[in-house]
Amino acid sequence: MQPLRFILLPFICALMQACQPATSNKEKPEISFNRDIRPILTEHCTGCHGGVSKQAGVSFVYQKEAYGRGHSGRLTIKPGDPAGSELIARIETQDENLRMPYNAPPLAKEKIAKLRQWIREGAKWETHWAFKAPQKPPLPLAVAQQLNPIDQFVQQRLKSNAFSISPRADKYRQLRRLSLDLTGLPPSLDEIRQFIHDNSDDAYEKQVDRLLASEQFGERWAAMWLDLARYADSQGYTRDEYRASWPYRDWVIKAFNQNMPYNDFITKQLAGDLLDDKSVDDLIATSFHRQTPINSEGGTDDEEFRVIAVMDRVATSWRAINGITMECVQCHSHPYDPIEHDEYYKSYAFFNTSLDADYRSDAPHLMLPKETQLRQTAFELQMKMQTIRDTTINTTHQLSKQTGDWLKLAIVSASHDQKTALEDLIAKTEQQIKNLDPQKQKPRLNHAKYALKRYQQTLQSLLENQYKPEKLHIKNDELHHTDDFAQKTQISLDSEKVPPDQVIGAITAIKLTALPVNAQKAIHTPEFAVSIDDIEIYKHHANGTLEKLQIKDYFTLHGEALDEQLKRLAKNANIDAAGGLFSHRLFAPLSTVAVLHTPLRLKPDDNLKIVLKQYQLRNLNEGMPSELQRFKVEITADEIWHHYADSEERTNLIAEYQTLSQKLADISSIALPVMLEQDPYNQRGTALFSRGNFLAKQGPLLKPHTPALLPPMPVQSKANRLTLAKWFFRDDQPLTARVAVNHFWQQLFGRGLVDTIGDFGSAGELPSHPKLLDWLAVTFQQDYQWDIKKLLKLMVMSETYRQTSASHAEQANLDPQNRLLSRANTRRLSAEMVRDQALFVSGLLTQKLAGEPVMPPQPQGIWGRKGRIIRDWQEAQGENRYRRAIYTFIKRAYIYPSFLTFDMETREISHGKRIQTNTPLQALVTLNDPVYVEASEALGKLIAQDYVSSNQLDEALKNAFLRVTSQPPTSQALTQLKQTFANIQSESDQQTAFNQISALLLNLDAALTR
Amino acid sequence: MKDFLYQQLQQQTRREFLQGSGRLLSSAFLASAAPAALLAGEHKLDFSRPMSQPLAPLPPQYPSKVKRVIYMHMAGAPSQLELFDYKPELAKYDGKLCPDAFLEGKRFAFISGRPSLLGPQYSFKQHGDSGAWISDRLPHLHKHADELCFIKSMHTDQFNHAPAQILAHTGHALSGHPSIGAWTTYGLGSMNQNLPGYMVLVSGSRDPDGGKQLWGSGFLPSAYQGVRCRSQGDPILYLSNPENVSRSMRRLVLDGLKQMNQQQYQTEGDPETLTRIAQYEMAYRMQLEASDAFAIEQESAKTLAAYGAQPGQPSFANNCLLARRLAEKDVRFIQLFDYGWDSHGSNKNEALDHGFVDKCRQIDQPISALLDDLKARGLFEDTLVIWGESLAAHRCRKTEGV
């Protein structure tokens, strides 16, 4: 999005100028820094003298710098003394080499005058308005007056411009607007009639309450949120495979329908996984930040795309919740707002410790049964499994700490042997091929056969080249080999012969650790994957014989390796199969403790031989080879490992884990990507990216923290996403409520009070009604306790909302954009509404809540690249053909074409606002897309039925017009409609004419707008 | 029609020029509202145009020779080393192990250990007065050697197809930015309002890896996205009337629609209504003009033979011919994608000695015919033809596949 910011600036300023008559006070013009001065600085100066570029040491972003001295040695701004301020000297000089703005026309006289006046009056600096907590302004009118507060503020502003709010729109139009705005659907004929005939005082309010309570309410408002949440049913990038995101979409719909308070709504989405007594729904909510695309194309660097996803989460959170363009601070300090470069990375740190890492599988998942009534059961199973997992890793770390005397066993020689590895793999694969069912497991079988062929080929070429095992380097008694070596291989390590004086008694456990080559750097810039599929340990007798040691148990100290181990254990009780070391990216030491079946006494001249099978059977890495580079071995004689491995607790936990995972596997579930945190023992560190480059980090490790320009976050030992979520809802948080109120306002009025929805910073637009914005924000936050429906009701009950959209020449001339709200804005229906209305008025719409995404008719060949999980668009039959737009399958690369034509966002990044266009391609959609053809035929039948029962053509046509546009036709319109009907009928037949009249109605301007 | 447009402009100028940032860049420097200071200076770029006429043509900032672009993108990245970039030294190293100097400290996807090198597989000769080296895979193109400008200095920091293609088309490897065609139609508008200003033709077995965003509008309004033309069914989505609706019947509907929308405008006074009327008329004209543009069967047998085009058989050759027809109709930006150039040898179609040969054959004659045809019709003067890709081939053989 960024380039836009710079292009937009001149225009924003123009806009402010246009607003001037409204804000300036004719009697005594008082200079306000925020209103009058900052916009001048932002437009003309900050580009070169700002947070990024501080030409000549001058910057206007921070007060201290602006009042300081630049390279000239003179004070840039000297309060009270315009003549002594270098700023004034430089904008007034006639010398083009010195004059600012450099290489640009001189500043307008009025602007110079303002700057002079401001400095003369003491150059009072103000914090940007949006970074100060809103104070609830007093209502402009006396309390006794019953006028909706919104109208009071709007009217006050209009009065100063000699306007007033327009009269109400007629009842038909009020209901249409209200119904489409609150539910995304027009009113039905019955609803219209009921409202028109209801002459009670609260007739309108009754409609408001009815619509707010309807189930369609959630579907309509979810459409707004899903743009912000960049929701899609696919993963993005090249492969763009199916992703089962839809339970999250349903969660959003449900949250709106249940009127979940806005603070809970956000908190659950940001940190539902970290809540103490989290429910299955809380976990589903966290899928919000798992809507980021993943790149599973072979050869991509998962760390690169993990970082991109984290950055997206940072940008989305700040923009959607706080209207701050935090992404500007990725590479340097913020150009316009006082946010320092490192503060971006403190925000980044909140999101940098989640478990997901651009895995092709989209892990981690919540397994969610398709049958909703089983969800709780499955959730409980998973929570229990999680507890066992956490207990296991906690115990392992405790034991490791208690083991005082880990003795490092020097590795004296190391080599790797591709040939043995391949022979082993070939034997295993041949066995696998035998075991696979050629019918049921065809893809796996084919893959195995293909793999076998490749192994055989590689082995063949090794043999032809007289292959010999190759030596690996040793350093500091460890394997330390940073040169390339082959991927699928067996690594053998020989330990020293234990000298008699170091014999520590019977060895009970051996700790095997893969180490980052550069541990300090790896914590923030992880090294490549480690993928050891199996481990074998031998006693190497002095006489040369090898004795394979029996392993009783493996205890791994690393979360990812533990997960793999548990997965294996769940399938197979054999602990021997549970060895292995996996890390998708190595950012910290990766250890596993092998507990020996029988304590081992090494005689002098005996040593250990450790064989690591680096077969890379798990595709950890999108084709990037993993190579074990650094590895050490430690031993202990401490008996605690033995005791724990033998304990009933351990045996029971594993058994229970197996039972639980079996139960879970028996429930047919979908895998919903969710947010989960890394274990506290192995967390990524965050350091500042030099110029935003994820490969070049600098400075110390940074802890999660919020920017200093906003209210301080309490210093805690462990700030996480939940801390951040709670911080967003502090009483003195200046932006959360304002930004939320603005989102809702935009949906109802067509434009935000702050038009730059995602930017409340200095480069954003000033609010058209600052007091109204603050009043609404404080009311929403404090009085309403974040009650969304209450807020929406207040808005739609206002006269401002209910007024007519018809404009008069005077209004159009003086306030062409209608910023002052002296009339309603006519708005085109959104992409979703265009579809939903056509299906609704033709009686086709399936009103069914929630569920898997559906595939309504779409021309063949739209998916230019087929999927593997869901191969192609499969046109729905039956009720799924006519579901509401929000349930339509969203493949990021190939969005449903008619939605795109009607300006739906593509869901690659978060969007707060759709830019509406008006193009001939839209006309082709509503005239010719089979969906609309089907709708016009269905509507044509309804008209025909009407005609048959009333025998009145006028009546049938009137009703049809009312159905589609929610208002009766004027007599002129009816005449025209009849004329067209007659014309078409004369060329065809009656039913065709009704169908064509339906098409005409669905394409009316009055049908496409509200 | 003129009166109508005048009326529309009258209504719209001020209001539309002042549209908020919702209309994005549309209001960048405005005659009616811009501070005097902005106007005092030199001529600035002016992208202001109502979003109800998003494709209205705009004058270029500088006098330009080129009016339209035909951009052919070979998805999958053909090896430059087999086409235009002759490396005689590399031939000497064919089959030898890659020197350590090229590998030290680096890690490559799909390659581990020490790969061997691959020299040019096809013979090169110099052509034209310029003496440009072109391989024997593109024999038809040899005679155009002096009309081509070879840019061999392109770099990328992406090595995967999708991000590299997105970078090549939007300037960013990440999603969300407008494509080069979208920027072009945004900046210059369209010369023919009866056709989309940016049209996309795709050949090969599927779409390029980067998908629709290669011709998407990113953060610009959706009106600037490329319209992907189809080789089956309607060339433009929803172009044809439904089966049982004749053109004259559609006219009756549109006449009624126009009248009723006019009435609506009389009472409501919303200028967008007038725009909508205009868009429906434009759609009606587009139905004819686009259908006509795609009717390559209208071409003479000689022309069809020159391109190797066969009506009804989708191909790159057909798309080249279509490109010329669209150029004739003043479409601003015409983009051709051809899929299937990832010649890394994992199967026959992707092998340098099989699929690559076929792909070269599929493009050589049509491109040459297109250049000839443009010249013959006087379009070569003001049409920029670009042939490009998104990645460069390296010459290390892949060593791992499973």
- Pick the residue of B17, B260, B291 with the most A CBs within 10 A to test the interface with A by mutation: B260
Is the distance from CB of A422 to CB of A490 less than 8 angstroms?
no
Domain co-membership, B114 together with B250: no
Domain check: are B173 and B161 in the same one?
A: yes
Tokens of A404: 């005082």
- Does residue B128 lie in a domain region? yes
Contact B103 A920 (CB under 8 A): no
Structure tokens at A692: 């935003």
d(CA A386, CA A372) in angstroms, rounded, equals 21
| Angstrom distances, CA of residue A89 to CA of A39, A43, A72, B142 | 20, 19, 12, 64
Backbone angles phi, psi at B242, to 5 degrees: -55, 160
Which residue numbers in chain A have pLDDT < 70? 1-29, 142-145, 485-486, 499-503, 573-577, 619-623, 716-717
Cβ distance of A924 and B28 shorter than 8 Å: no
Can you give the pTM of this predicted structure?
0.88
Q: How far apart are the first and last CA of chain B?
A: 65
Question: Cα–Cα distance between A130 and A322 in angstroms, integer?
Answer: 10
Q: What is the pLDDT of residue A15?
A: 35
Residue B199 and residue B339 share a domain: yes
Please name the member of A7, A860, A918 whose beta carbon is closest to the beta carbon of B28.
A7
Pairing of strands B68-75, B383-388: parallel
Residues from chain B that touch A625, judged by Cβ atoms under 8 A, are 107, 112, 400
Would the CB atoms of A8 and B25 count as touching at under 8 Å? Answer: yes
Tell me if chain A has a CB within 8 Å of the CB of B35: yes
Residue type, B65: K
Q: How far apart are CA A947 and CA A311, in angstroms?
A: 60
Q: Nearest residue of B to residue A455 by CA position?
A: B402
Nearest residue in B to A447, CA atom: B402
Q: Are A587 and A507 in contact (CB under 8 A)?
A: no
Give the pLDDT confidence score for residue B402 in this predicted structure.
36
Distance between A107 CA and the closest CA of chain B, angstroms: 6
Q: Report phi then psi at A578, rounded to 5.
A: -100, 10
- Give chain A's end-to-end CA distance (angstroms, integer): 30
Residue that the structure tokens 């005239």 belong to = A927
B60: in domain: no
B199, B273: one domain:
no
Query: Is residue B56, in this structure, part of any structural domain at all?
Result: no
Residue B143 lies in a domain: yes
ipTM above 0.95, yes or no: no
CB A294 within 8 A of CB A302: no
Q: How far apart are CA A322 and CA A270, in angstroms?
A: 13
User: Do B362 and B376 sit in the same domain of this protein?
Assistant: yes
- CB-CB contact of A547 with A624 (8 Å): no
Residue of A nearest to B162 (CA): A238
Amino acid letter, A696: A
Residues B381 and B312 in one domain: yes
Who among A765, A933, A1000 is closest to B242 (CB)? A933
Candidates A111, A862, A919, A1001, partner chain B, best to mutate (most B CBs within 10 A) = A919
> H helices of A29-159, where?
38-44, 63-66, 86-92, 109-120, 149-159
Closest by CA position to A853, among listed A878, A902, A890: A890
Q: Do A917 and B223 touch (CB under 8 A)?
A: yes
CB contact under 8 A, A1 and B219: yes
Enumerate the residues of chain A whose CB falls inside 8 A of the CB of residue B206: 864-866
Residue B63 within a domain:
no
Interface probe with A: pick from B230, B253, B391, most Cβ of A within 10 Å: B253
Closest CA to B381 of B66, B149, B21: B66
Question: Which B positions 41-60 lie with beta carbon below 8 A of chain A?
Answer: 41-42, 51-52, 54-55
Task: Return the residue in A924, A992, A1000 with the most chain B beta carbons within 10 A, the one to mutate for interface testing.
Answer: A924
Rounded Cα gap, residues A861 and B235, in angstroms: 12
pLDDT at A291: 98
**Interchain contact, B51 vs A920, CB within 8 Å:** no
Q: Are residues B246 and B371 in the same domain?
A: no
Which pLDDT score, from 0 to 100, does residue B9 have?
40
CA distance A350 to A343: 11
Residues 191-250 of B with CB under 8 A from A: 196, 202, 206-213, 216, 219-223, 225, 227-228, 230, 232-234, 236-242, 244-246, 248-250
Residue A605 CA: distances (Å) to CA of A414, A543, A586:
18, 9, 35
- Residue to substitute from B116, B222, B274, B398, interface A, most A β-carbons within 10 A: B222
Of B18, B52, B241, the CB nearest to A816: B18
CA distance A587 to A526: 4
Of A7, A455, A927, the CB nearest to B25: A7
- The DSSP call for residue A625 is P
Flag if A828 and B272 touch (Cβ within 8 Å).
yes
Q: Are residues B25 and B144 in the same domain?
A: no
Taking residue B91's Cβ as centre, other Cβ atoms within 10 Å add up to: 14
Record: contact B112-A487, CB cut-off 8 A: yes
Q: Which amino acid would we find at residue A278?
A: K
**Domain shared by B374 and B398, yes or no:** yes
Chain B hits for A817, CB-CB cut-off 8 Å, are: 15, 18-20
Beta-carbon pairs below 8 A across chains A and B: 312
Q: Judge: A984–B401 Cβ closer than 8 Å, yes or no.
A: no
Residue of A nearest to B228 (CA): A862
Residues B337 and B210 in one domain: yes
Q: How far is Cα B35 from Cα A39, in angstroms, rounded to an integer?
A: 13
Angle at A28 (CA atoms; ends A24, A33), nearest 5 degrees: 60
Inform me whether the C-beta atom of residue B288 falls under 8 Å from chain A C-beta atoms.
no
CA A72 to each of CA A81, A86, A90: distance values in angstroms, whole numbers, following the listed order:
17, 9, 11
Which residues does chain B have with pLDDT short of 50?
1-43, 399-402
Q: Same domain, yes or no, for B35 and B142?
A: no
Residue B164 in domain: yes
A127 to chain B, closest Cα gap in Å:
24
Q: Do B210 and A895 touch (CB under 8 A)?
A: no
Q: For residue A418, report the phi and psi dihedrals to the nearest 5 degrees.
A: -70, -35
Residue range of the domain that includes B27: 1-51
CA distances from A868 to A194, A872, B2, B44 (A): 51, 9, 53, 50
What is the 8-class DSSP label of residue A758? T
pLDDT at A164: 87
| B252 CB within 8 Å of a chain A CB | yes
User: What's the CA gap between B138 and B80, in Å, rounded?
Assistant: 12
The residue with tokens 């170091």 is A502
Q: Position B59: which residue type?
A: P
- Asked, for residue B57, whether it belongs to a domain, the answer is no
According to the 3-state scheme, what is the secondary structure of A985-1001?
Answer: HHHCCHHHHHHHHHHHH
Does any domain span residue B149? yes
- In angstroms, the CA A919 to CA A925 distance is 10
Rg (CA), chain B: 25
Q: What are phi and psi of A673, to 5 degrees?
A: -65, 130
Tokens of A156: 């006050």
Q: Which two tokens stand for residue A700?
A: 């110390």
Looking at residue B212, its amino acid is K
When divided into structural domains, chain B yields a total of 3
Chain B closest-CA separation from residue A264 CA (Å) = 30
Looking at the structure, do residues B172 and B251 belong to the same domain, yes or no?
no
List pLDDT tens digits, range A797-841.
Answer: 999 999 999 877 777 778 878 889 999 999 999 999 999 999 999
d(CA A579, CA A593): 10
Query: Among B49, B158, B166, B212, which would you mutate to test the A interface (most chain A Cβ atoms within 10 Å of its Cβ)?
Result: B212
Q: What are phi and psi of A885, to 5 degrees?
A: -55, -35
b/e A875-884 (16+ beta carbons within 10 angstroms → b):
ebeeebbbbb
In terms of CA atoms, which chain A residue is nearest residue B171? A3
Q: What chain A residue is nearest to B220 in terms of C-alpha separation?
A: A915
